[in-house]
A and B are shown apart, each in its own frame.
Chain A
């Protein structure tokens, strides 16, 4: 029971890290290596506002959403669209977006260091709670609930609304979507901005139980990449399932075998899944 509860709560955290990247990579075709920095930026906002103005991180989450949306929309519009336009194929765009977003990640780290070079150490909602007889904390539950809300509404939005279906169409094929009259650049920008907003909001909440600093973004980027690829690019369900698998496996290994092997086993599962399903759990065969 402990494993299930802790594992699911951890899965919620993982989903928050990866859902945004899935939108950005799946729809806008941008392999965003600054994903982790976006997350830490959200965390920094929560920390800074809490320490300096006693703003509740929950309120920050709400504020960070729209700001990150606009910020990421601007990044896409002015920084990435020129790259998308000039690339002749997906490979070229991948190379360019790796270089550009890698540069962006350095840039954001630099900015964050000039705001706060030390640890973002604060605690919020760290009261103990008991879920089905297993102890955990309120902030982790909050993160889990936010993940459920975001994951659920993304899923509904992508499947039940006109815009959502258009976004999904773009993720399947930009060319075909363009042919049926979908405004591909607009949908891509929307997806990229939305992805950034989700990641930053997640970061604000995650900062209530992780002690972060300006330079840790790369850890989150890697985790998010692993989860997105494991679940399959462009499918929200895949990301959620992958997050749950990793959360449960890590907790189970830590509890039953050895905490020293948690991360190794998570990567092992990832490799195993790719060996048997080279397109990820829910991925489409391309060629």
Chain B
């Protein structure tokens, strides 16, 4: 277990280094696909860290992402702050917020938790718009930096790698063990003396931290920030979908989920420019039926078969 854990980490590290060369090798087109993919890998990896072991599906990604994007935009556009400072502040704000949400939702389970996070994200979106309207009175939020797509890609890669490493580390720690027990049976977890509350809250805070940083990094890519757009509920859904497609049971699930899916999405956009949305819907349906446990499930099935075949 322990050795295979390190093997996994080594593979991930190699992949991350290889991924670092993407902007140098590919043209802008493939780079822009990679940026989108890397954004989802970072978001999904941090999502899986919490939701994978606990089985709590969170729809708050949009809120954290929005905090990152919005704070960077307001800070830079209206208060001439530096990008780095605002990114740091947004990460802090989102982490604290995630802590509060985590503490508030301890009693909630199942679908009630899912929709609570959705409602909360929507409330934040509306509150931010209201504050913007009544107190900040903006003349448009512009994030004009000299970052290129390659810079944004590398920043996202660092975030994704950091999330992965942290997830890997937590999995091996006492905290990870606690989380897995919570996921299997929360009552049992409590009985064996695991502080389920702290474990859940801490993990949720890391989700918030990474979500905000990804949002902050993406803001210069969008250049013009509309509160209603960065706090998009659709992003929350997409993160869940991508993570589930890969398989939420493994930390590397998002990687094997996001990459093929981004490519399929690209293929559909190319082939059916007038009916992209419809065909992507069809692909979703197809995946659900063909890959019952996500791509991870299928890969592990194949792995088992190979091993059995070898003997």
Contact = CB atoms under 8 A, between A and B. Distances in A.
Whether A associates with B in a native complex is yes
A187 to B, nearest CB: 20
Contacts of B130: 258, 260-261, 264
A114 B281 CA distance: 14
Interface string A268-283: 1011001100111001
Contacts of B118: 222, 225-226
- Indicate the member of A103, A105, A280 with the most B CB atoms within 10 Å: A103
| A-side interface size class | 35 or more
Given A103-B283, A110-B279, A271-B123, A278 B108 contact: yes
Contacts of A99: 241, 244-245, 284, 287-288
A279 B116 contact: no
A226 B245 CA distance: 25
Nearest to B116: A274
B28 interface: no
Secondary structure type dominating chain B contacts:
helix
Contacts of B134: 258, 260
Nearest to A31: B111
A216 interface: no
B86 to A, nearest CB: 24
Interface in B266-285: 274-285
6 contacts: A102-B237, A104-B284, A114-B275, A264-B127, A267-B123, A275-B104
Contacts of B292: 86, 96
A95 interface: yes
Contacts of A121: none
Nearest to A108: B281
B281 A106 contact: yes
A257 B108 CA distance: 31
A229 B104 contact: no
Interface string B119-131: 1101100110110
B288 A96 contact: yes
B115 interface: yes
Contacts of B115: 225-226, 229
A51 interface: no
B258 to A, nearest CB: 15
Contact of B244 (A82, A90, A98, A105): A98
Contacts of B133: 260
A107 interface: yes
Given A31-B111, A99-B288, A264 B123 contact: yes
B116 to A, nearest CB: 5
Given A109-B281, A218-B234, A222-B122, A100 B288 contact: yes
Identify which of B120, B237, B244, B277 gathers the most chain A CB atoms within 10 Å of its CB. B277
- In the complex, the 6 A-B pairs of residues with the closest C-beta atoms, listed nearest first: A110-B278, A103-B284, A106-B281, A107-B281, A267-B123, A264-B126
A106 B278 contact: yes
Contacts of B107: 275, 278
Residue in B107, B111, B115, B118 whose Cβ sees the most chain A Cβ within 10 Å: B115
Contact of B281 (A94, A104, A275): A104
A12 B85 CA distance: 48
Interface string B84-122: 000000000000000000001001111110011011101
B233 interface: yes
A268 B294 CA distance: 35
A177 interface: no
Contacts of B120: 267, 271
A105 B241 contact: no
B111 A109 contact: no
Contacts of B275: 110, 114
A8 B292 CA distance: 44
